[in-house]
Amino acid sequence: MASTPVILLSKRSGNASDRPNAATVQAGEIAMSFGAADPGLYFKDSAGSIRKFGSNHYGATAPNSSPLGSPGNSVGELWSDSSTSNYYLRVWTGAGWQKIGAGFADSATTANTASTASTALTANTATVASSSLIASGIAVVNTLPAAISGSLVYLNAGASGLYVSANGGWIPT
């Protein structure tokens, strides 16, 4: 007996910055935006909010700054901001874009042998400075500490991964 393949299609769009509308997506349903400018997978959570999971946005303008679909961003969404010569990792808190590690990146001159880069604009011998895991002050912990808005930690136990602090709690990225 010959079988006929079944193709299941989710809600999807190829337009740039075309995020799904919460009114048209059911709780738990996946929607996709495959436009090259701002691709991502989305789902509707139990509170009725659209959440993005997928790649970190890289560019001089924030993701979804000129929406074709629903406006706004998902709490915990990441943006590598290249709008200035100091690149910043930012996270959406629900109210705005928070710089991650800003206390380290904003204070100034040069560190020739940086171990934390807490006072460095440039670090000549910093380890992993180009991908900012050590130079931006990310701590590696075995338990999540008290949440400080805008903090970033790597949890090395249990549900391990990168966590950002927003709205009084920790959000896995």
Candidates 92, 70, 66; CA nearest to 79 is 92
Residue 112 confidence (pLDDT): 44
Q: What percent of the chain shows pLDDT beyond 70?
A: 75
- H or E element, residue 155: strand 152-155
Q: Is the pLDDT of residue 117 over 50?
A: no
Domain boundary among 18, 37, 55: 55
Q: Identify whether 46 is part of a domain.
A: yes
Q: Is 97 buried (19+), middle (13-18) or exposed (0-12) by CB count in 10 A?
A: middle
Q: How far apart are CA 61 and CA 82, in angstroms?
A: 8
Least confident of 34-43, 81-90, 132-141: 132-141
Q: Which of 44, 40, 69 is nearest to 57 (CA)?
A: 40
Domain total in the chain = 2
- Residue 14 reports pLDDT greater than 80: yes
Phi then psi for residue 162, to 5 deg, are -85, 130
For residue 1, what pLDDT is reported?
A: 52
Domain that holds residue 108: 102-128
Give the CA distances from residue 15 to residues 23, 38, 66, 120, 165, in Å, rounded to whole numbers and listed in that order: 19, 9, 12, 40, 31
Q: Tell me, yes or no, whether 123 lies in a domain.
A: yes
Task: Note if the pTM is more than 0.75.
Answer: no
In a domain, 70, yes or no: no
Q: Which of 55, 73, 89 is the last residue of a domain?
A: 55
Rounded to an integer, the average pLDDT of 129-147 is 61
